[in-house]
Chain A
Amino acid sequence: MLYTREIETELNGVPSITAEVNEIVKESGVKEGLCIVTVPEGTCGLCITSFWDKRGLYDLLDEIGRNIPNRVSYKNQESPHDASGRVKSAMMGTSKALIIHEGKLILGSSQGLVFMEFDGPRKRTFQVEIVEKA
C-alpha cells in the first residue's frame, strides 16, 4: 500500500513527519510488517533522530552545513542552496525502512522521522509503502 503526503517546508526546515507516518501505519491496519518512507526530492533528506529538543535538529543542520556549505563554486550553477542541497541529500539519504510490530513503528522513545529541507521554501512530498509480513 503506497501513501503520498505533501508538506510545505521552510528554507533549512526540519519538520517531524513521525505523526503522519504513525497515522498511515494505523490507517493501513497492518500489525506486523515493514514501513518504508522515501522522499522523492533532490535537495531534501530523511533521518531518524531525537525530536525532544528542537535545538538538536538545528545542530544537525549546522554540522551538515559546515561540512557542505553554500558556496559559489559548485559546478551545479542553479543556486548555492540547490547545489549544496543536492550533495547534502545524497549524503544524508532520502529513504528509511522501519519495522512495524503490534501495529506500531519500532522507534526509541525520543526518536522520530525528520524531514530535512536543504533548499526551499516549497511544497514537498514524501511517500510511505506499508508491507505486511506474509
Chain B
Amino acid sequence: MDKNKFTSPIREEVLSLFEQVDVTTERCFDSEKLKNLMSIAEIFDVRKIIVTGAGDSWVAGGAMLPVMEKYCDAMSVQVYNPIQFSRFVTKGDIGIGEPNSPLIIGISVGGGTARVAEVLEKANALGACSMLITNNPESRCAKIAKKVFDVETPAFPYDKMPHPNIRSYFASLTALAAVSCRFGHVRGLLPPTAKEEFKKAIKDYVESWKPVFDDIDEQMFDLAKTWCRFEKFDFLGVETQLYSTIFGLEKFYESCGTLCNYDDPEDWCHIDYLCKDPETIGTIFHIDKDSPSLSRTIETINSAVHIGRPTLVVTNSDAEFPEGAVVCRIPKAPEGYEWVTPMMEYIPDALLAGYCATLGGRKNFVQYDPMTKEFDMESLHSRKGAMTIGTSEVQIHV
C-alpha cells in the first residue's frame, strides 16, 4: 500500500512544518514585534506569569513551561486550565499589588474562545497585564487583551474547515519561546545574540527531523494498519512530555473520535492498568532521554506489554525498551536547547492519528472524509447549541 494515498489534513500539516518553521520563527522573533509588545519597563514590572488557553492552547503553555521558567526571570510561571483560573483563582492567590503583574497570557489561535475571553477580562479586572497570543488580531479576545502577539501563521489549504491543527500549535510554541527570549534579554539573563540562537535551535531541530521523517512516517503507517481498529487509546507521559502526550490524545479525538485517556506512568500502574480487554487499547508512551522518570517509565512499559497492551514508545532515548513495544526514536534536541523537543515530539502521534482515520475509514468531527475530501459543517458535533466553546456565557469571578 502506498501511504501517500492515505494522507490526511493532519499529516499534510505535519509535512508543512518543514517550510513553516522559517516563516514562523521570523515572524515570532521579529525585533519590532517584540519591542512593541511590551516596553522594557513593563517587562521589569512582571513578577509572576500565568499561561492559559483551552485545548491545544493550554497544552502549548505546559509544553513551553521549561523555557519560560528558565529565561523569563519571574518569581513563578504557572500554567492554568482556563476555567480553573477564571472561576476559582482569587485575587490573593495571584499576588496582585504590583503594577502590570502578574502577566496573564491567554492563547487562542482564532481569538473567539469564550473562556479565554473570560480569562482576559478577569486579568484586566484584577489590574494584571493581559496578553493574547493569537492568529487573529481583530478577534474578540484581541479586543480585550492589553497586549496582542500576532503569530501570523501563513494560510494553509485546510484553513477553511475545522480540522486537527498542527501549524497553529507550532506557532503558539514559537511565540512562547520568543516571549521568553525577549524577557531573558531585557532582564539580562540572555545575551544580545539570544534571539538568533533561539531561532537557529528551533530551525536546526526541525531540520534534524527531515532525514528520519520517512522512516517515522512509514513506521506509523504500518502500526496504523492494526491500530486503526482500536476504539480506545491510552497516553502516558510526565512533566513536559505529559503535554506532548495530551496533544497526541487531542489529535486522536479530533481525527478519529475514539475514546482517549491520559495519565502518568506511576498513576497508570495503580488505576488504568486494570482496564479490561488490554489487547484492544492502543497505549502510547512519551519519554525523554533526560527525564528522571525514565526508569519508572520503562517499568510501566514492561507492565503494559506484559498484560498485552499494544504499545508504542516515542522517545529520544537510546535506552533499551521491553521487547514487544514498538519504539519510535525521534531526534535529540541541540544541547542546551532541550526545550525545543516538544515543538516536534508529537509528530508520531499526529501521523498515527491521521493514518488510523484514513485506514479505518473514520471521519472527524465535521464528518470530513479524507478520501473523498467532503465534510459537513452541520454535523452533530458542530451544531449550534451543542458546540459552545465560542458562545459560553462569560462571568467574571474576582
Interface of A is mostly: loop
Interface residues of A in 90-121 (CB under 8 A from B): 119-121
What distance in Å separates the Cβ of B276 from its nearest Cβ neighbour in chain A?
58
Q: Which of B34-42, B172-180, B334-342 contacts A (4 or more CB under 8 A)?
A: B34-42
The reply to whether A79 and B186 contact each other, CB–CB distance below 8 Å, is yes
What distance in Å separates the Cβ of A75 from its nearest Cβ neighbour in chain B?
10
The reply to whether B192 and A73 contact each other, CB–CB distance below 8 Å, is no
Given A77-B35, A78-B35, A122-B193, do A72 and B40 touch, yes or no (CB 8 Å)?
Answer: yes
The reply to whether A77 and B191 contact each other, CB–CB distance below 8 Å, is no
Which residue of the partner chain A has the closest CB to B36? A77
The reply to whether B40 and A80 contact each other, CB–CB distance below 8 Å, is yes
B203 at the interface (CB under 8 A from A): no
Q: How far is the CA of A119 from the CA of B192 in the complex (A)?
A: 7
Which residues of the partner chain A approach B192 to less than 8 Å between Cβ atoms? 43, 78-79, 81-82, 119-120, 122
Chain A 119-130 near chain B by CB (<8 Å), digits 1 or 0: 111110000000
Interchain CB contact (< 8 A) of B186 among A80, A120, A121: A80
Q: How many chain-B residues does the 8 Å CB contact rule pick out?
A: 13
Interface residues of B in 30-83 (CB under 8 A from A): 31, 35, 39-41, 43-44
A74 at the interface (CB under 8 A from B): yes
Which residues of the partner chain B approach A123 to less than 8 Å between Cβ atoms? 193
Interchain CB contact (< 8 A) of B41 among A72, A78, A82: A72
Q: How far is the CA of A72 from the CA of B40 in the complex (A)?
A: 5
How big is the A interface, by class?
Answer: 10 to 19
A11 at the interface (CB under 8 A from B): yes
Which residue of the partner chain A has the closest CB to B32? A77
Interface residues of B in 271-299 (CB under 8 A from A): none
Q: How far is the CA of A82 from the CA of B35 in the complex (A)?
A: 13
The reply to whether A73 and B188 contact each other, CB–CB distance below 8 Å, is no
The reply to whether B39 and A77 contact each other, CB–CB distance below 8 Å, is yes
Interchain CB contact (< 8 A) of A73 among B31, B41, B43, B191: B41
Which residues of the partner chain B approach A73 to less than 8 Å between Cβ atoms? 40-41
Q: How far is the CA of A81 from the CA of B189 in the complex (A)?
A: 11
Interface residues of A in 46-88 (CB under 8 A from B): 70, 72-74, 77-83
Interchain CB contact (< 8 A) of A121 among B35, B43, B185, B191: B191
Q: How far is the CA of A82 from the CA of B190 in the complex (A)?
A: 12
Q: How far is the CA of A70 from the CA of B174 in the complex (A)?
A: 29
Q: How far is the CA of A41 from the CA of B223 in the complex (A)?
A: 56
Interchain CB contact (< 8 A) of B40 among A11, A74, A119, A122: A74
- In the assembled complex, 11 residue pairs joining A and B whose CB atoms fall closer than 8 Å, in A order, are A72-B41, A72-B44, A74-B40, A77-B35, A77-B39, A78-B35, A79-B186, A80-B188, A83-B40, A120-B192, A121-B191
19 more contacts with CB within 8 A, not counting A72-B44, A77-B35, A120-B191, are: A43-B192, A70-B188, A72-B39, A72-B40, A72-B43, A73-B40, A78-B31, A78-B35, A79-B185, A79-B192, A80-B40, A80-B188, A81-B192, A82-B192, A119-B192, A120-B192, A121-B191, A122-B192, A122-B193
Residues of B within 8 A of A (CB): 31, 35, 39-41, 43-44, 185-186, 188, 191-193
Residues of A within 8 A of B (CB): 11, 43, 70, 72-74, 77-83, 119-123
